[in-house]
Chains A and B, each alone.
Chain A
Amino acid sequence: MSEQTADLPIKPARASVWSAIFRARETSVFIALIALVVVMSFASPYFLTSENIFNVLRNMSTISIIAIGMTMVIITGGIDLSVGSVLAMSAMMTARLMVEFGLDPRLALVVGLLFGALAGLVNGLIITKVQVNPFITTMGMMSIGRGLTYLLASGLRGTVASNIPMRDPGLNFLGGGYIGPVPFPVIEMAVLVIVASLFLANTVLGRQIYAVGSNEQAARLSGVDVDRVRLFCYTLTGLLAAFAGVMTAGLLSNAATNAGLGTELDVIAAAVIGGASLAGGQGTVYGAVIGAAIMAVLRNAFVLLGLPAYMQTISIGVVIILAVALDRLRRRGQTV
Chain B
Amino acid sequence: MKVNRLLSVSMALAALLAACAAPARPAAPTAAPAEPTQAPAAAAPKEMCTPADEGTIKPVDQKPDRPMKIAVLGLENNPFWIPVKEGALKAAEELKPYGVAVEWIVPGDQHTSEVFGQAIESAIVQKYDAIATVAGDAGMVPFINRAVDAGIPVATFNSETAEPNKRLFFVGADLYLQGQTAGKAMAEAIGGKGKVAIITGFFAVEAHELRRKGFEDYIKQNYPDITILSPVENQDKADIAFSQARDFMTANPDLAGIYVTAGGPFGAAKAVEEAGMTGKVKVISFDFVDETMEYVKKGVISATIGQDPFAQGHDPAIRLYNYLVGKVQPECVKLVTRSDLVTKDNIDQFWKPSQ
Report the Cα distance A33→B94, complex, angstroms: 63
Q: Which of A106-114, A273-281, A297-305 forms contacts with chain B? A: A297-305
Which of B64-72, B138-146, B226-234 forms part of the interface with chain A? B226-234
> Taking A163-B291, A252-B242, A306-B230 as contacts, is the C-beta distance between A262 and B2 under 8 angstroms?
yes
Contact of A55 with B85 in the complex, beta carbons under 8 Å: no
Count residues of B near A (Cβ-Cβ below 8 Å).
43
Residues in B neighbouring A312, C-beta threshold 8 A: 232
Among all A-B residue pairs, the 5 with the closest Cβ atoms? A303-B247, A262-B2, A162-B79, A304-B251, A160-B76
The 8 Å CB contact of B236, one of A258, A305, A308, is A258
- At the interface, is chain A mostly helix, strand, loop or mixed? helix
A162 contacts B78, C-beta separation under 8 Å: yes
Of B77, B235, B248, B274, the residue contacting A150 (CB under 8 A) is B77
Binding site for A on B (CB under 8 A): 1-4, 76-79, 81-82, 85-86, 109, 203, 229-233, 235-239, 242-244, 246-248, 250-251, 263-264, 266-267, 270, 274, 289-291, 354-355
**A313: CB under 8 A from chain B?**
yes
Q: Decide: A259 near B239, CB < 8 A? Known: A252-B266, A304-B251, A308-B230.
A: yes
Instruction: Report whether A252 and B270 are in contact in the complex, using a CB–CB cutoff of 8 Å.
Output: yes
| Supplied contacts A150-B77, A306-B230, 11 more A-B pairs, CB within 8 Å | A44-B251, A59-B243, A160-B76, A163-B289, A165-B290, A176-B270, A254-B291, A261-B2, A299-B243, A303-B247, A309-B203
* Smallest CB gap from B4: residue in A: A313
Q: For residue B289, which residues in chain A have a CB less than 8 angstroms away from its CB?
A: 162-163
Name which residue of chain A comes closest to B232, CB basis: A309
Q: Which has the most chain B C-beta neighbours within 10 Å: A58, A162, A303, A305?
A: A303
Across the two chains, which residue of chain B brings its CB closest to A310? B203
Chain A residues lying within 8 Å of B264, measured Cβ to Cβ, are: 256
- A15 to B331 alpha-carbon distance, docked (Å): 83
Find A258's partner among B230, B243, B263 (CB 8 Å cutoff): B263
Q: Which residues of B contact A150 (CB under 8 A)?
A: 76-77, 109
Bound-state Cα–Cα, A249 to B92, Å: 36
Query: Can you list 26 pairs linking A and B with CB atoms under 8 Å apart?
Result: A46-B250, A51-B250, A52-B250, A55-B243, A55-B246, A62-B239, A157-B79, A158-B82, A162-B78, A162-B289, A163-B290, A165-B290, A248-B239, A256-B237, A257-B78, A258-B236, A261-B237, A262-B4, A299-B247, A300-B247, A303-B251, A309-B231, A309-B232, A310-B203, A312-B232, A313-B4
Taking a contact as CB atoms closer than 8 A, the residue among B79, B233, B274 that contacts A160 in the complex is B79
Residue numbers in B under 8 Å from A303 (CB-CB): 232, 244, 247-248, 251
* Total number of residue pairs linking A and B with CB closer than 8 Å: 122
In the complex with contacts A157-B82, A256-B237, A261-B3 CB distance below 8 A: yes
With A and B bound together, what is the CA distance between A292 and B203 in angstroms?
Answer: 24
Measured CB to CB, the closest approach of chain B to A17, in angstroms, equals 38
Residues of A within 8 A of B246 (CB): 55
Taking CB atoms, residues of chain B closer than 8 Å to A253 are 270
Contact B270 A55 (CB under 8 A): no
In the assembled complex, A265 has its CB within 8 A of some CB on chain B: yes
Does any Cβ of B come within 8 Å of A266's Cβ? Answer: yes
Q: Give CA–CA (A251, B239) in the complex, Å.
A: 8
Instruction: Provide the bound-state CA to CA distance between A167 and B230, in Å.
Output: 34
Residue in contact with A262 in the complex, picked from B3, B230, B270, CB distance below 8 Å: B3
Interface range for A: 35 or more
Interface residues of A (CB under 8 A from B): 44, 46, 49, 51-52, 55, 58-59, 62, 99, 146, 150, 154, 157-163, 165, 176, 248, 251-254, 256-259, 261-262, 264-266, 299-300, 302-310, 312-313, 316
Contacts of A158 in B (CB 8 A): 82, 85-86
Given contacts A252-B238, A256-B238, A303-B247, contact A161 B76 (CB under 8 A): yes
Q: Which residues of B contact A304 (CB under 8 A)?
A: 247, 250-251
Cβ-defined contact, A252 with B78, below 8 A: no
- Using Cβ atoms and an 8 Å threshold, which residues of chain A touch B231? 309
Q: Is the CB of A162 within 8 A of B82?
A: yes
Contacts A157-B354, A162-B82 given; does A265 touch B2 at CB 8 Å: yes
In the complex the two chains form, is A254's CB within 8 Å of B82's CB? Answer: no
Q: How far is the CA of A138 from the CA of B105 in the complex (A)?
A: 29
Nearest-CB residue, chain A, relative to B197? A303
Whole-angstrom distance between the alpha carbons of A254 and B264 in the complex?
Answer: 11
Task: Give the chain A neighbours of B235 by CB distance below 8 A.
Answer: 258, 261-262
Closest chain-A Cβ to B21's Cβ sits at a distance in Å of 28
State the Cβ distance, A73 to closest chain B Cβ, in Å: 18
Tell me which of B3, B76, B270 contacts A159 (CB under 8 A): B76
